[in-house]
Structure 1
Amino acid sequence: MTDNTASVLRQVDQDLEKSLERLFALLRIPSVSAQPRHAADCRNAAEWLRTEMEALGFDASVRETPGHPMVVGHDRAAGSGPHVLFYGHYDVQPTDPLALWKSDPFDPKITTEADGRKIIVARGASDDKGQLLTFIEACRAWKAVHGALPLKISILIEGEEESGGANLMPFLKANAEELKADVALICDTGMPDRRTPAITTGLRGLVGEEVVIECATHDLHSGMFGNAARNPVELLCKALGSVRDDLGRVLLPGFYDNIVVPSDAVRAQWRAIFPDDSLTLKPVGLSKAAGEAGFTAIEQIWARPSYEINGISGGYEGDGFKTVLPARAMAKVSFRLVPGQDPIAIREAFRAHVRAVLPEDAKVSFTEHGASSGFAVPEDGPFLSTALAALGEEWGVKAVSIGCGGSIPVVAEVKEALDMDSLLVGFAQDDDRIHSPNEQYGVESFHKGIRSWVRILDAFTTR
């Protein structure tokens, strides 16, 4: 760490209360992108961010889209070092069920947990307003101390991440020349525990599929037609249940082709953080990993593909009992994919499997619900080791590369539209209750998140 960085870190510490005030101002804006009545609030959040970025010397503007606006800012004054593009989103999830909130979700408060940890409670505190402001506040500290940023920085903040993000890819493609940089920085992820900083280097992709099996023209009396008539619920259960074997492996042809298992070094890091499956499963009332034999629970979540039945229905589902032989059965299933898997090929393999087990008099139809590929940052990527080292300096614990069981579409979209790799650096915790009532973000996460970005930006200038 240089003397220049030390002075910026002192500025961060001195300005923390004002940084929190700015965060609270943004949190008070109910920018719920999924609800039309909050369209004006989404625009207000975009304008608020534009104003803050302009005050820091960014060439900032609010950009129109067919939906909620984007915010774009550039500071290209620095003469050396790489050019980075930071991404965040200002929109938040709806607050329902409102009755479960302990306080007004758009009236942020700092409360103290039983262990003494201070948390910020508000919708968007963690996802993603608190996270995106860690980066902006780091830029503010650099400007306050040195009058300039240490490298070229562009910022893109969208307003529809929580409602599908349909306009992001068209916007990226239409403005590719303007937004192109050396690396994208995304702050929408978390840490594996309270003390270990991390960069998410792997995300799973997704295939969503709805399958409907129909047999008779209408529901039948099971006493009159049982055995003689095909039962679509039975057929559906057979089709879905035969996708896996008894060891948890998916049996679709080619499902595991081209998958890369994480290196021994990475798996050792994960085992050090999660030495026992109970650490992953006990918080949700479970004890033993149920998936593939030979992989820990966290490895299955972070680095292995999955097949899950998300919902199933058919026949009589009301109170009491009804001896019906249903004419129709439906299920929704999902596959989480890792790098190397082709989502279109997986979808077709699943459909072929279902068709193959169906007898005569059974008709099947499918409806697709999205498809995306997995993502991985190469372990020898040009920015990864530098950022990990900077995080370790700030937190006093060696930073690790982790995976994420979910999907963050912007990563694949940035790669496709801008041909850029991303670094996912976040400071959220598993108990931040994102998307749930009483969302929270630790004051330490916010404070040390700002300090972490200060160190990362400085490290990028000298890597």
Structure 2
Amino acid sequence: MAPQPEAAARIDAVLARIDADLPEALERLLALLRIPSISTDPAFAADCTRAAGHLVEDLAALGFRAELRPTPGHPMVVAHAGEEEAGGRHILFYGHYDVQPVDPLNLWNRDPFDPAVEETAKGRVIRGRGASDDKGQLMTFVEACRAWKAVHGRLPGRITIFLEGEEESGSPSLIPFMRENAAELSADIALICDTGLYDDETPAITTMLRGLAKTEFTVHAANRDLHSGMYGGVARNPLTVLARILGNLHDENGRVTVPGFYDGVDELPDALRAQWQALAFDHAKFLGDVGLSIPAGEVDRTPLEMIWSRPTAEVNGLWGGYNGAGFKTVLPAEAHAKVSFRLVWRQEPEKVVSAFRAWLEAQLPGDVTVEWHDEITGSPASVMEIGDPAFEAARAALTQEWGKPAAFIGSGGSIPIAGYFKTILGMDSMLIGFARDDDGIHSPNEKYDLECFHRGIRSWARVLAAIA
């Protein structure tokens, strides 16, 4: 639905300000990128605090009540504005100011913390650690707020900004902080800018995130490694036993054979399936880029369904016996494996892992035992309530900015913060980001396209107008 003339004029004025202020917005981003806020390395702890303080000062200058909140690790940034606004939705925006380490440094073409705008064959890019993940992305939202404030003297609604400094190091302080401050952080909906476009020109809202569960174990047989000439054929070989069992983890149609595995797995709604089909996902190119050509998995599912909305069971590691040069002809006393599960819809991590363990134990022959090395842990999938009118309003706003229909998409990976917002704060999230696949996040020479930074700011201005 197109905005009414008065509302359209208000938005147009903000967009014009964003366009005019782009050089200054870029300089503000470069200043943040110069701070080496590497959260995993204690040597950069002071820089993480400096980055948080830098953002607090910037948000305070926009009229936010912004504070640096200490944690046992790196500080959080919490900022509030627009509480006086009547009606509308209370929006929580999340991003993270910490970055990955830069190693190997010799593969960078420039100092990763001396960012610059570079000309490339595909256009101008912002080069530096954190340019795409996540400083460039979080600053698109801050700059949209800045433009609204500059043009209209206030923000379009009630907004809380919540920035983390440990996302790249496992977020050890996040859950305790959210629980302790749940009343303050709770809002009507969360916006997360740590994802990307569907393709180079198609904006997207991620509405489905797979969860994750995993387990590691050892299968034991004899009390020592055995000579294969003396014991081969008569003694149990745990590697053979384990290979046989794990080889039966999927049937001939690609379905997981663990009883109850598909409990809680819903079918994709027809409207969402049709939207995904319209994306014309090129699975041949997707697999061809990694030297493959034939889709595996469930034979009656499209590749995009399998990546975004179907669960998986994968053997991530399998080892035992002698692995050095030449041969050591032994029957190993033990074999080891790591198995993980990507979860969807209403699957429960504990139930899935427990069912797998029971399934494996039931197939162990005599003289063979299993030792489980970890407690059952995991995170469930996150599925957003896209029936909320805010999702369609945001999708329309993105479509208007990018000139291509925005898509509701899924994610094959996991973004834990969205699940925490659901389970701890009781609210859905819209994951809207403007990264491109070639940004090189976590890699040397990370970049963020200047077009994505610019249109990302404009996109958030439109989204805020549509839902705040």
1:251 match: secondary structure: coil
Aligned length: 460
Mapping for residues 2-401 of structure 1, pairs under 5 Å: 2-75=8-81, 76-114=83-121, 116-366=122-372, 367-368=374-375, 370-401=377-408
Aligned partner of 2:117: which letter? I
2:461 match: secondary structure: helix
Identical amino acids, percent of aligned pairs: 55
Measure how far apart 1:360 and its partner are: 1.9
Say whether the 8 Å CA contact 1:208–1:368 is kept in structure 2.
Answer: no
Aligned partner of 1:392: which letter? T
Q: CA RMSD in A?
A: 1.4
Q: Deviations over 1:275-304 (max 9, x none)?
A: 431132222222221111122222211111
- Name 1:440's counterpart in structure 2: 447
In structure 1, how many angstroms separate the alpha carbons of the residues matched to 2:376 and 2:326? Answer: 33
Which deviates more, 367-376 or 85-94?
Answer: 367-376
Aligned partner of 1:403: which letter? G
Q: Judging changes above 3 Å, is the alpha-carbon distance between structure 1 residues 151 and 192 closer, same or farther for their aligned structure 2 residues?
A: same
In structure 2, how many angstroms separate the alpha carbons of the residues matched to 1:117 and 1:408? Answer: 30
In structure 1, how many angstroms separate the alpha carbons of the residues matched to 2:292 and 2:21? Answer: 43
1:200 match: secondary structure: strand
Say whether the 8 Å CA contact 2:350–2:376 is kept in structure 1.
Answer: no
Say whether the 8 Å CA contact 2:281–2:304 is kept in structure 1.
Answer: no
1:449 match: secondary structure: helix
Normalised by the length of structure 2, the TM-score is 0.95
Measure how far apart 1:460 and its partner are: 1.3
- Name 1:411's counterpart in structure 2: 418
Aligned partner of 2:115: which letter? P
1:384 match: secondary structure: helix
Say whether the 8 Å CA contact 2:350–2:377 is kept in structure 1.
Answer: no
- Name 1:429's counterpart in structure 2: 436
For structure 1, the residue ranges without an aligned partner over 5 or more in a row are none
Measure how far apart 1:267 and its partner are: 2.1
Say whether the 8 Å CA contact 2:258–2:359 is kept in structure 1.
Answer: yes
In structure 1, how many angstroms separate the alpha carbons of the residues matched to 2:248 and 2:214? Answer: 18
In structure 1, how many angstroms separate the alpha carbons of the residues matched to 2:375 and 2:292? Answer: 31
Q: Deviations over 1:306-349 (max 9, x none)?
A: 11111221111122222122112111111000011111110001
2:323 match: secondary structure: coil
Q: Deviations over 1:57-84 (max 9, x none)?
A: 1100110111111000000243331110
Q: Deviations over 1:78-136 (max 9, x none)?
A: 3331110001111111222222222222222222332x322222221111111111100
1:431 match: secondary structure: helix
Normalised by the length of structure 1, the TM-score is 0.96
Runs of 4+ in 1 over 3 A off after TM superposition: none
Say whether the 8 Å CA contact 1:78–1:148 is kept in structure 2.
Answer: no
Measure how far apart 1:269 and its partner are: 2.2
Which deviates more, 213-222 or 30-39?
Answer: 213-222
For structure 2, the residue ranges without an aligned partner over 5 or more in a row are none
Which deviates more, 287-296 or 60-69?
Answer: 287-296
